[in-house]
Structure 1
């Protein structure tokens, strides 16, 4: 016990100070970003260096179905070897006993990283940057809705009941009184985050009814993806304590804006200098090449940034989500925004990803596009002045079209991992087929008696 506990973060040791650890949850992200794994007594975890899970967890759709992605060997479900990353050991403060979560990395039985594992996909993309002497830096923004309990999927989703006894109001962006309406949930989010050692950069009310945004401090892509992975569970647990749900659906409520995971990107060199800024503070070629890579290749990764049929309901003109790949300075209508900043913190914000994306895959996809732009020295189009909503749409109109673009970019597959790309496409197409088996209320209302 002492050996592995010596390697966990200080916040985790502080959480357990004077207490006896009861249980450890050994977890890994699947393709949708759901935590899969095993829980075991802490005493048993202390004696193990690894454990096993079948590789079929990466063939599973969001509904629990399966994509036929096992390959030529057939669906034999061989075991993967999962090894703990002790730096990810975090408290699970909502549990009844003293529990830690530990993220694991997946390897095959020869010790080779499993290419389908989302955390390994992101690690591989980061490695490509490191081979060039670069370190990518990201800062995600998480948007989500706090909604009333929805026990029947046939019923629409409604905003949660606020502290005043009235439903959370829409169109109250940045209102502090709106945040106060669900202050007890926010208080628990802060408390859980502190127990886990996470630093929240800020919490604001967004434009939707019961819609909240949490900003995280910038850092290493894998570390920040781990934090988003953990935060999704943390926020859900905080909401459940107060008789409501937290949802990360891209578009949970009709007529309201969707929820995004905006990603801020910068890159440092071996001296820790931001390569987007020159010695005199000006914008460098690398800055423009990164933007050019996003403009050129983002269509091919929309299937990762918008992974569900619901995701495409978010890309609606004039509803706070981008509809094209224009870039602009301090312009929130563009898909690629350059925020106001000092030269040392110059960064590029990708506003296309939905909050429903897997954080490992969303960050990996965005970095892959920027990497290709840097390597190809791609020049972007002219920066846009004015509303990007006045321009043409560049976003695929649905998941199937997005998957076709994803499948047609073999160079992207090499960067993300060809086996991952194969499995992802098969699983998402299987998921789309599952969706087609469901008849919607719209179809019953307008087609049942009229066609």
Structure 2
């Protein structure tokens, strides 16, 4: 046992110091970003080099139904070979025993990466950057709501009760008093994150009732996507300890802002570490403008990945802290593409389109893919926007069906993300959309039952 635990990441070793490891959770993210896998005794994990799961986990919809995406051989549920990435080994500090989680990568029997496994999609995009002599760097921001326990899907989601005994208040952005209302939950988030070796750049109250934002330090895209994947589980577990739910729905509460996953991008020279968005005198380079141009041109085709559910499109509401178009500007939060204030060496481009409901591997991969296409094709952006971008017209799809139609036609985007991923993703998402269209909503019963 000591042989392999001695090589664990530092935080995992610290977590286990003086303790006996009981169990290892072998996990992988499916298309929605749900952790799938197996829990095995630590002694068995020490002896195994891989384990198997059927490829059908990537054909499953968010409801547990299936998209007909298995291909020519039919739905035979072929086994994948899942191999651990031990650099991802981290604590599961909410469990009753001493447990580690380890993210696995999926391969076929020939040793080739499964092309529709989300982590493999992101690795493919990062590898393409490196083949072009560039290292992409990202910094995600995670927004989410702490809400009252909701056991009845027919009941509207409500804010959680705060420490004061009053429901969480809306429109209190950046209020420290509002953050203090959730103190016990936040304390556990910090404790769990520390046990897992994650560095939080900050927690703030956002504009919604019970809405918080966690910022992560910038770094390698795969590593950061791993952290967002882990954080979603961590935050849910911290909330459950305090009799509330954490939700990453894009729009959980009517008339409140939605939850986004803003992604900050910069590109480094792999040899010198120089930010390729910065010229010799600190000016903005062609790569900087081409990256923005790529986002403007290709993000409409990628929205089906950044906004993967029917609920996602409820977030894109004018004047509700979510963009409705792809204008770009410096230090302007009304635009879909923002260049934050920073010294030249920290220059970055913020994509504000992704919802927090997206799979972090796929959302980051799609955003990077759009920027890479812009740099490869030397796409020039529109002129910088001046003023309030909410006064402009929307230029993104407004419903999932429209977004999927655009995604299906975007063969240049498929070439970056992988054609087989694009095929499977579209089939699964259309199956979800068809399921949704069969559901009769309360609005329809209220306004149509007796009036039409």
TM-score range, shorter chain: over 0.9
Secondary structure at the residue paired with 1:370?
A: helix
Q: Report the equivalent of 1:214.
A: 214
Cα displacement string for residues 267-314 of structure 1 (whole angstroms, at most 9, x for unaligned residues): 000210000001111110100000000000000000000000000000
Instruction: Report if aligned partners of 1:7, 1:87 keep a CA contact under 8 Å in 2.
Output: no
CA distance in 1, matches of 2:173, 2:13: 38
Instruction: Report if aligned partners of 1:323, 1:335 keep a CA contact under 8 Å in 2.
Output: yes
After superposition, residues 45-444 of structure 1 pair within 5 angstroms as 45-270=45-270, 271-444=272-445
CA distance in 1, matches of 2:396, 2:243: 37
List runs of 5+ in structure 1 lacking aligned partners. Answer: none
Task: Tell me how far 1:395 sits from its aligned partner.
Answer: 1.4
Task: Tell me how far 1:133 sits from its aligned partner.
Answer: 1.2
Secondary structure at the residue paired with 2:439?
A: coil
CA distance in 2, matches of 1:8, 1:291: 39
CA distance in 2, matches of 1:7, 1:396: 47
Secondary structure at the residue paired with 1:411?
A: helix
Task: Tell me how far 1:193 sits from its aligned partner.
Answer: 0.1
CA distance in 2, matches of 1:366, 1:31: 16
CA distance in 2, matches of 1:146, 1:175: 16
CA distance in 2, matches of 1:64, 1:450: 35
Task: Tell me how far 1:17 sits from its aligned partner.
Answer: 0.2
Secondary structure at the residue paired with 2:374?
A: helix
Task: Tell me how far 1:132 sits from its aligned partner.
Answer: 1.1
Task: Tell me how far 1:392 sits from its aligned partner.
Answer: 1.0
CA distance in 1, matches of 2:365, 2:18: 39
Secondary structure at the residue paired with 2:203?
A: strand
After superposition, residues 2-81 of structure 1 pair within 5 angstroms as 2-81=2-81
CA distance in 1, matches of 2:444, 2:422: 33
Q: How many corresponding residue pairs?
A: 451
TM-score for both structures, normalised by structure 1: 1.00
Instruction: Report if aligned partners of 1:290, 1:373 keep a CA contact under 8 Å in 2.
Output: yes
Task: Tell me how far 1:2 sits from its aligned partner.
Answer: 2.7
List runs of 5+ in structure 2 lacking aligned partners. Answer: none
CA distance in 1, matches of 2:34, 2:263: 20
Instruction: Report if aligned partners of 1:163, 1:182 keep a CA contact under 8 Å in 2.
Output: yes
